[in-house]
Amino acid sequence: MARPPLSEQDLIDRYGPHLNQAPPGGWDSGLKVDKVVDTHCCFCGQQCGIKLKVADNQVIGFEPRYDFPFNRGMLCPKGVKRYLQGNHPDRLLEPLERDQGVDGGFRSISWDHALDRTVAEIRRIGEQHGPDAFAMLSGVSLTNEKSYLIGKFARLALGTANLDYNGRLCMVSAGAASKRALGVDRAPNPWSDIPLADVIIVAGANVAECAPITTSYIWRARDRGAKVIVADPRVTPLARTADVFLGLRPGTDSALFGSILHVLVANDWIDQNYIDAHTTGFDEAAAAVADHTPKWAQEVTGVPADRIIEAARLWGTSDTGMLLHARGIEHHSKGVENVNACINLGLATGKYGRPGCGVCTITGQGNGQGGREHGHKCDQLPGNRDITNPEHRAHVADIWGCDVAEIPGKGITAQEIVEAIHDGQIKGLLSICFNPLVSLPDTTFTREALNKLEFYAVIDFFLSETAHHADVVLPGSLHEEDEGTVTTVEGRCVKINAAVDPPGQARRDWDILRDLARRLGRGQYFDFDNTQDLFDEMCRASAGGSADYAGMTWDRIVAEQGIFWPCPEPGHPGTPRLFEGGKFFHPDGKAKFFPIRYRDPAEVVDTDYPVWLTTGRVVSQFLSGTQTRRIAQLVEQYPEPLCEMHPLLANQLGVASGDRVTVTSRRGSITVPAKVVETIRPDTVFIPYHWPGDKAANTLTNRALDPISKIPEYKVSAVRLEKATGHINVTDTRDTRLHDGETPEATR
Ligand SMILES: Nc1nc2c(c(=O)[nH]1)N[C@H]1C(S)=C(S)[C@@H](COP(=O)(O)OP(=O)(O)OC[C@H]3O[C@@H](n4cnc5c(=O)[nH]c(N)nc54)[C@H](O)[C@@H]3O)O[C@H]1N2
Ligand SMILES: Nc1nc2c(c(=O)[nH]1)N[C@H]1C(S)=C(S)[C@@H](COP(=O)(O)OP(=O)(O)OC[C@H]3O[C@@H](n4cnc5c(=O)[nH]c(N)nc54)[C@H](O)[C@@H]3O)O[C@H]1N2
Ligand code: SF4
Ligand SMILES: [Mo]
């Protein structure tokens, strides 16, 4: 609901009758504010504290929050502009139904009609094809309470096993690796440990653009003299200040980390006492990399052998050290192996459970951490429990007050759900907080699948590109329209406060799901009146699980600026640092090494597709862009996807910055302007993925999945490039030239 323009009288009331005369109350910012609400940013997993300024039930501005210890008043460009999305004219204000008629557009319908039709289709598909033929997809921009509710809703109201979430595209490689090695899925450290590290390895994480506030933690370590090592095919902004840059070829991380382990062992830069006391499987892990010599790794990764040795020396001989990784090593058909290779480096040198020591994943979406704990993954029940474990099922059935047999078994993962839709096995879908048409690999395939659905309902606040394929669109709530909790990158559960009510007929997400459950005849399991009720039930359900919130209350969370889980009972202080005293979460208390050998990515370059493509993000856009592509000030910073390429490749193609290039993979092709940069390997191009349609990087990417985590291989595809017609003036404020003394080998 856009606010009407100010009338002349409004202007006089606000600013006084003459330009040179102050209004009665004196000059101020011109904003009449009813209240200022302490909450957190709705975007990335760092969850910076922010204040929203509210007037007339609209968010009209923001102020930084200096009291929140994580960001202490700092915000990135997205956090600063986030408040602008709420009043956007595209905001969905009433339920919509696809009009099969003339132009195939949508028409407004009543809530009763929208919900009754949705329920009728869920019933019809269930009766004709069984309950698993109706799937649900969910998202981790949602609060903990909603994640919990969705897990329960899919299992008890829809009765389907096939519920999964968009963290499947994001956090699952890190989660699976961490769980199998350490018995728990959480970054082991509070971020206040980062400045205490003597060496910091940043692997496949564009910290400055994607976790901007984390940069300041790393610089605080540098100020103490810490060494920074960056492993990335691109010289990211942080890499420009690195002491050692490991400019590896996409898809070769396990060769790099395997070789570092090899060097640690060969030089006895390991902590044998720690290994003996607190771990199992070291000998097998060391044997697996016996042939991963730096010379061999130089061939595979393109990183000079002496740099690999230097990185190993810094890591192995420093008393403290942290390794931070993100999707650059996780978005692979061997994402879990890559993460386990990193964890091996931490365990081999005893870098766990002490200040300034740990191997941490940097979470992605706003609730990238909490959203993977409370049971909306296909194999999971609340408390990060296992849906196939009889004891876990019994515990949750007890909390839910249902028969154990009513909880379906393990379902299939997000990409597999889309494959099953394409195959015709799954006929109906309800999605909330997910835009798969932009975010899944191989867009053409995803579109075909969506078009095959017999019925599709979407809960969103904007008509996302995926929602265009829906039969029914239910207008849900924006972050600032509901309260609840999220769990940040540090494992700190924080409180989100509602600033405004949903506009028009839009409803809170939980209210929509509760209504659907009631209409499905399952209201008895969804007898709650607000999100606080949901939080309390969620905490009870999590009790005894690895992600234990049982001792938390909203009051405590607010008073203590968040609580780190596990927090198993009232009065428990929470657990900022995991694994102190070498205690891991497996039954024997020990951590597990995994033997990791390098293997090729699912697709490799050849004569037809000779260039590596990798994809990712830019600072001003967020994920599938549904939100940030609607904020003009962010669009201006980077209006459309550019194909970053090295001058050597550009010369070969006869291309200058701004010339359009056609990029083709085995899946399809897109044509985008080139951006010639010295900050990328000559054999690799990078395209950010935030745009839909003919600008969608995912038209090119591969559906290959990691066998364990089922994450798609977004970071490696093989492509060919040709100069196309057309040119734009590329404006990007980033400095992508390399200066004297700043010429990493990989970019020569
Ligand atoms: N501005 C912004 N911030 C965000 C988001 C956003 O969309 N925009 N999204 C949030 C979410 S959900 C996520 S998951 C995080 C993602 O945060 P990041 O993982 O940091 O971001 P990406 O751009 O996906 O990839 C990170 C880096 O991996 C490198 N890379 C590519 N291939 C490889 C490889 O094979 N090996 C290695 N070692 N590196 C490789 C890329 O060059 C890139 O610099 O960001 C969060 N923050
Ligand atoms: N090529 C390539 N593809 C990628 C990646 C990559 O690096 N390269 N990264 C992957 C990663 S890490 C991620 S996390 C995914 C993200 O992919 P998606 O999860 O599909 O992207 P989002 O933009 O978060 O989509 C969320 C949708 O939910 C809506 N939404 C947001 N908050 C709420 C809410 O509170 N309630 C409701 N009802 N709706 C809400 C938004 O409007 C949006 O339409 O993309 C993946 N895709
Ligand atoms: S760093 Fe993340 S949480 Fe902080 S303001 Fe930026 S997008 Fe928001
Ligand atoms: Mo993500």
Decide if 219 is inside a domain. Answer: yes
Look-up: residue for tokens 């234990």? Answer: 548
Decide if 444 is inside a domain. Answer: yes
Query: Ligand nearest 334 Cα, by number?
Result: 1
Same domain for 142 and 226, yes or no, is no
Picking from 566, 532, 533, the residue whose alpha carbon sits closest to that of residue 383 is 566
- Tens digit of each residue's pLDDT (9 = 90 or more) over 20-32: 555 555 555 556 7
| The last residue of a domain, from among 316, 333, 361 | 361
pLDDT band per the 50, 70, 90 thresholds, residue 11: low
CA-to-CA dists, residue 459 to 77, 115, 166, 533, angstroms: 27, 11, 14, 22
Same domain for 630 and 720, yes or no, is yes
- Ligand 2 atom showing the smallest separation from residue 365 Cα: 14
Q: Over pLDDT 90: what percentage of the chain?
A: 87
Does residue 494 sit in helix, strand or coil?
strand
pLDDT at 547: 95
Residues 6+ apart with CB under 8 A from 530: none
Task: From 39, 40, 41, give the residue whose CB has the most ligand 3 atoms within 8 Å, as the site to mutate.
Answer: 41
User: What residues does ligand 2 touch, defined as CB less than 6 Å away?
Assistant: 139, 141-142, 166, 169-170, 327, 331, 364-365, 432-436, 439, 459-462, 464, 476, 479, 509, 615-616, 623-624, 626-627, 689, 697-698, 701, 714
Same domain for 350 and 314, yes or no, is yes
Q: How far is the CA of 600 from the centre of ligand 4 (A)?
A: 23
Picking from 433, 440, 443, the residue whose alpha carbon sits closest to that of residue 464 is 433
Does pLDDT of 455 surpass 70? yes
Q: CA 416 from chain center: how many Å?
A: 19
Q: Which CATH number belongs to the domain containing residue 118 in this structure?
A: 3.40.50.740
The number of distinct structural domains making up the chain is 4
Task: From 367, 460, 489, give the residue whose CB has the most ligand 2 atoms within 8 Å, as the site to mutate.
Answer: 460
- Work out the burial of residue 426: count CB atoms within 10 Å of its CB; fewer than 13 is exposed, 13-18 middle, 19 or more buried: buried
Q: Beta-carbon neighbour count of residue 63 at 10 Å?
A: 14
d(CA 528, CA 381): 19
Decide if 296 is inside a domain. Answer: yes
Decide if 216 is inside a domain. Answer: yes
Picking from 579, 571, 619, 612, the residue whose alpha carbon sits closest to that of residue 733 is 619
CA-to-CA dists, residue 547 to 150, 471, 487, 488, 725, angstroms: 18, 37, 11, 13, 54
Mean pLDDT, to the nearest integer, of 565-584? 97
Lowest mean pLDDT among 379-393, 559-573, 621-635, 680-694: 621-635
Same domain for 240 and 115, yes or no, is no
d(CA 151, CA 692): 29
Same domain for 462 and 338, yes or no, is no
pLDDT band per the 50, 70, 90 thresholds, residue 735: low
Nearest CA to ligand 1 atom 44: 206
Does pLDDT of 645 surpass 90? yes
Task: Report the b/e string of 247-261 with b at 16+ CB within 10 A.
Answer: bbbbbbbbbbbbbbb
pLDDT at 1: 46
Nearest CA to ligand 1 atom 10: 364
The answer to whether the CB of 172 is under 6 A from ligand 3 is no
Inter-helix orientation angle 305-317/253-266, to 10°: 60
Decide if 261 is inside a domain. Answer: yes
- Tens digit of each residue's pLDDT (9 = 90 or more) over 379-393: 999 999 999 999 999
Q: Is the N-terminal amide bond of 641 cis, ω within 30° of 0?
A: no
- Tens digit of each residue's pLDDT (9 = 90 or more) over 508-563: 999 999 999 999 999 999 999 999 999 999 999 999 999 999 999 999 999 999 99
Which two structure tokens, joined as six digits, stand for 11? 């202007």
pLDDT at 32: 76
**What single DSSP character describes residue 566?**
P
Q: Which residues pair with 564 in a beta bridge?
A: 492
Same domain for 154 and 63, yes or no, is no
Nearest CA to ligand 1 atom 35: 250
The answer to whether the CB of 320 is under 6 A from ligand 3 is no
d(CA 699, CA 693): 8
Which two structure tokens, joined as six digits, stand for 565? 């889980």
Amino acid at 169: L
Mean pLDDT, to the nearest integer, of 128-144? 98
Q: How far is the CA of 635 from the centre of ligand 1 (A)?
A: 19
Does pLDDT of 69 surpass 90? yes
Q: Which CATH number belongs to the domain containing residue 718 in this structure?
A: 2.40.40.20
Decide if 458 is inside a domain. Answer: yes
Decide if 496 is inside a domain. Answer: no
Same domain for 335 and 381, yes or no, is no
Does pLDDT of 4 surpass 70? no
The region that residue 741 occupies, defined by phi over 0 for left and psi between -120 and 50 for alpha, beta otherwise, is left
Q: Beta-carbon neighbour count of residue 589 at 10 Å?
A: 13
- Tens digit of each residue's pLDDT (9 = 90 or more) over 298-325: 999 999 999 999 999 999 999 999 999 9
Phi, psi for 110 (deg, rounded to 5): -80, 160
Task: Provide the Cα torsion 734, 739, 742, 746; round to 10°.
Answer: 70
Q: CA 47 from chain center: how many Å?
A: 12
Q: What is the overall mean pLDDT for the chain? A: 94
Task: From 140, 169, 429, 706, give the residue whose CB has the most ligand 2 atoms within 8 Å, as the site to mutate.
Answer: 169
Decide if 604 is inside a domain. Answer: no
Look-up: residue for tokens 């990515």? Answer: 601
What is the DSSP code string of 94-142?
S-EEE--STT--EEE--HHHHHHHHHHHHHHHHHHH-GGGEEEEE-TTS
Query: Ligand nearest 362 Cα, by number?
Result: 1
Residues 6+ apart with CB under 8 A from 487: 144, 367, 369, 370, 371, 373, 493, 494, 565
CA angle 55, 144, 191 (to 5 degrees): 90
pLDDT at 255: 98
d(CA 240, CA 402): 56
Q: How far is the CA of 385 from the centre of ligand 4 (A)?
A: 22
Phi, psi for 596 (deg, rounded to 5): -120, 120
d(CA 486, CA 497): 11
Task: From 433, 479, 489, give the residue whose CB has the most ligand 2 atoms within 8 Å, as the site to mutate.
Answer: 433
pLDDT at 748: 44
Phi, psi for 36 (deg, rounded to 5): -125, 125
Q: Which CATH number belongs to the domain containing residue 275 in this structure?
A: 3.40.228.10
d(CA 514, CA 529): 10
Q: How far is the CA of 210 from the centre of ligand 3 (A)?
A: 8
- Domain housing 616: 611-747
pLDDT at 13: 67
Task: From 44, 490, 494, give the residue whose CB has the most ligand 3 atoms within 8 Å, as the site to mutate.
Answer: 44
Q: Which CATH number belongs to the domain containing residue 24 in this structure?
A: 3.30.200.210
Residues 6+ apart with CB under 8 A from 143: 367, 370, 482, 484, 485, 486, 496, 531
pLDDT at 33: 86
Nearest CA to ligand 1 atom 6: 622
| The last residue of a domain, from among 307, 335, 361 | 361
Q: CA 669 from chain center: how many Å?
A: 26
The answer to whether the CB of 679 is under 6 A from ligand 1 is no
Nearest CA to ligand 3 atom 5: 79
- Tens digit of each residue's pLDDT (9 = 90 or more) over 661-677: 999 999 999 999 999 99
Q: Beta-carbon neighbour count of residue 525 at 10 Å?
A: 18
Q: How far is the CA of 32 from the centre of ligand 3 (A)?
A: 26
Look-up: residue for tokens 């659907």? Answer: 516
Same domain for 401 and 532, yes or no, is yes
- Tens digit of each residue's pLDDT (9 = 90 or more) over 700-711: 999 999 999 999
- Ligand 2 atom showing the smallest separation from residue 440 Cα: 47
- Report the chain's terminal Cα–Cα distance, integer Å: 52
Same domain for 110 and 76, yes or no, is no
Mean pLDDT, to the nearest integer, of 714-728? 96
Three-state secondary structure string covering 470-486 = CCEEEECCCHHHCCEEE
Q: How far is the CA of 225 from the centre of ligand 1 (A)?
A: 26
Q: Which residues pair with 676 in a beta bridge?
A: 645
Three-state secondary structure string covering 671-700 = EEEEEECCCECCCEEEEECCCCHHHCHHHC
Picking from 459, 526, 518, the residue whose alpha carbon sits closest to that of residue 119 is 518
Distant-in-sequence contacts of 30-34, Cβ < 8 A, 24+ apart: 31/55, 31/60, 31/61, 33/60, 33/61
- Ligand 3 atom showing the smallest separation from residue 212 Cα: 1
Same domain for 373 and 225, yes or no, is no
Which two structure tokens, joined as six digits, stand for 364? 């992605």
**What single DSSP character describes residue 309?**
H
Same domain for 150 and 189, yes or no, is no
The answer to whether the CB of 372 is under 6 A from ligand 1 is no
**Helices assigned H by DSSP within 560-695:** 632-637, 647-653
d(CA 331, CA 602): 12
What is the DSSP code string of 343-401?
HHHHHHTT-SSSTTEEEEE---STTTTGGGTSS-STTEETTTEETT-HHHHHHHHHHHT
Nearest CA to ligand 3 atom 4: 48
Amino acid at 474: L
Task: From 43, 44, 345, 734, give the residue whose CB has the most ligand 1 atoms within 8 Å, as the site to mutate.
Answer: 44
Picking from 244, 236, 264, the residue whose alpha carbon sits closest to that of residue 341 is 264
Q: How far is the CA of 442 from the centre of ligand 1 (A)?
A: 19
d(CA 28, CA 51): 18
Picking from 607, 593, 539, the residue whose alpha carbon sits closest to that of residue 568 is 539
Which two structure tokens, joined as six digits, stand for 723? 């100069």
CA angle 485, 491, 493 (to 5 degrees): 20
d(CA 134, CA 155): 11
Q: How many residues can be counted in the chain?
A: 748
Same domain for 352 and 385, yes or no, is no
Look-up: residue for tokens 């009720």? Answer: 533
Which two structure tokens, joined as six digits, stand for 42? 């709705």
d(CA 3, CA 561): 34
Q: Answer for the pair 387, 407: CB distance below 8 angstroms, yes or no.
A: yes
- Tens digit of each residue's pLDDT (9 = 90 or more) over 74-112: 999 888 888 888 788 999 999 999 987 546 689 999 999
Q: Is the N-terminal amide bond of 441 cis, ω within 30° of 0?
A: no
Q: Answer for the pair 368, 140: CB distance below 8 angstroms, yes or no.
A: yes
| The last residue of a domain, from among 26, 58, 87 | 87
